[in-house]
Amino acid sequence: MDDRECLDRLDSTATDTEDLFEHFERRTAAGRTYHALPNARHGIERGTIVIEDTVVRGYPKIPRILVIEAGVPSFFENELAVEEKLDGVNVRIANIDEPLAFTRSGYVCPYTTARAKELLAPADFFREHPNRMLCVELVGPETPYTTHDYDEIDSHTFCVFDIRDRESGEPLPVLDRRELCSEYGFPQPRLFGRYRPSQAIDGIRAAIEMLDAAKREGVVIKTLNGEKMAKYTTKSQHHEELAYAFSLPFDRGRDFVFSRLVREAFQAAEFEADDDQLRKRAHRLGEAILLPMVETIRDTANGRSIGEQFTVRGSPEQIDALLEHLYDQSLTLEINEITRENDEQIVEFVKVAEATRDQIKYYLEEGVH
């Protein structure tokens, strides 16, 4: 397809082809060349892909509600569904001669592609729905991108939270999508209920309290046609993300930290009527900030690895493809352990956080700012 046709099919707000296509990056994977948009531009979502004659839209950004009582009725007018938000990594799976898994920023991840083929077995789905994409969260303690633990997941799994037309991005209605997922045996996030906006507040609060007690992430609230969405997350998630950010203080940006403190403050104002509870929460927040940072300073002083630790499992070919893919993205990795279990390799590695390691080392040696 030529650039003009591609621009029309993308339905972009860009007026000429150059305006948009200069922002696309040329990449290769599995011997195929494709073009990916690394950041949202001209009405086109981040991670949008053009591969041969096929367009695969990026997954849209989901706005965040800060105050449930005000945000839900002002954002939603019609009936809505509340689903669990799982803490993992966003993957789109589209069939382009074969199923390919794209990350949020539009890379084909060979490891995720191979694991998705094995665990979801999407061939039947794509035979009947060739132009749709599965929008999936890769979750569990053993993934190369996130490590959130879920009691029911030993290693990793793929949970389908959306099914969209791959070119227009138009979603299936929530209940149709859930039915389709059951039909094909795809795991999916739990549905807490359907509500009118004015009645949803109590339902969302109850879901959040229950999820928080189980240290789970939060909810995504969606209109029944699937088009409008908003997210809301738990206290335990805020603390987990702050602990993560402060464990790598010079790699995680200040915006990352500030936005999470703001959401924590608005939630505390809405949920904690009791002063003692608020004080306990403040104490836990302080621990989430200070303890991981001190641990990282001490680890640096003791010459330990500084960075995020991951464990992945798969066939030796899948593991090799993954490591090559991560090295291609200029990550510095330390491979700590490789073990075997039946036909699978289990690899523990650290994505080294060089800025944090080097900055802390400097302060420890020089003692001045």
Q: Is 262 a binder of ligand ATP (CB under 6 A)?
A: no
Pick the piece of the chain touching ligand ATP (CB under 6 A) from 20-28, 79-87, 256-264, 357-365.
79-87
Burial class (CB in 10 A: 0-12, 13-18, 19+), 238: buried
Tell me how far, at minimum, the Cβ of 365 lies from ligand ATP, in Å: 36
Cβ-proximal residues to 184 (8 Å cutoff; 6+ apart), any chain? 122, 124, 125
Handedness of CA 302, 308, 314, 316 (dihedral sign): negative
Write out the DSSP string of 194-233.
EE-HHHHHHHHHHHHHHHHHTT--EEEEEETTS--EEEEE
Tell me how far, at minimum, the Cβ of 4 lies from ligand ATP, in Å: 29
Residue labelled with tokens 């990056």: 25
Tell me how far, at minimum, the Cβ of 136 lies from ligand ATP, in Å: 8
Q: What is the DSSP letter of 74?
A: H
Tell me how far, at minimum, the Cβ of 203 lies from ligand ATP, in Å: 15
Tell me how many residues contact ligand ATP (CB under 6 A).
Answer: 14
Q: What angle do CA 255, 256, 262 make, to 5 degrees?
A: 80
* Residues numbered 11-50 forming contacts with ligand ATP, rule: CB under 6 A: none
Q: Is 158 a binder of ligand ATP (CB under 6 A)?
A: no
Q: Could you give the CA distance from residue 259 to residue 127 in angstroms, rounded to a whole number?
A: 43
Looking at the Cβ atoms of 146 and 155, the one nearer to ligand ATP is 146
Q: Which of 24, 107, 150, 161 is close enough to bind ligand ATP by CB under 6 A?
A: 161
Identify the three-state secondary structure at position 2. coil
Tell me how far, at minimum, the Cβ of 90 lies from ligand ATP, in Å: 3
Q: Could you give the CA distance from residue 48 to residue 38 in angstroms, rounded to a whole number?
A: 8
Does residue 83 contact residue 204 with C-beta atoms inside 8 Å?
no
Tell me how far, at minimum, the Cβ of 144 lies from ligand ATP, in Å: 16
Q: Which of 24, 83, 101, 313 is close enough to bind ligand ATP by CB under 6 A?
A: 83
Pick the piece of the chain touching ligand ATP (CB under 6 A) from 57-65, 173-181, 192-200, 352-360.
57-65
Tell me how far, at minimum, the Cβ of 313 lies from ligand ATP, in Å: 22
* Residues numbered 183-242 forming contacts with ligand ATP, rule: CB under 6 A: 189, 220, 231
Q: Which of 59, 107, 125, 158 is close enough to bind ligand ATP by CB under 6 A?
A: 59
Write out the DSSP string of 111-138.
HHHHHHHHHH-THHHHHH-TTEEEEEEE
Looking at the Cβ atoms of 101 and 306, the one nearer to ligand ATP is 101
Point out which residues pair with 138 in neighbouring strands. 89, 158
Q: Is 90 a binder of ligand ATP (CB under 6 A)?
A: yes
Enumerate binding residues for ligand ATP (CB under 6 A): 59, 61-62, 83-86, 90, 137, 161-162, 189, 220, 231
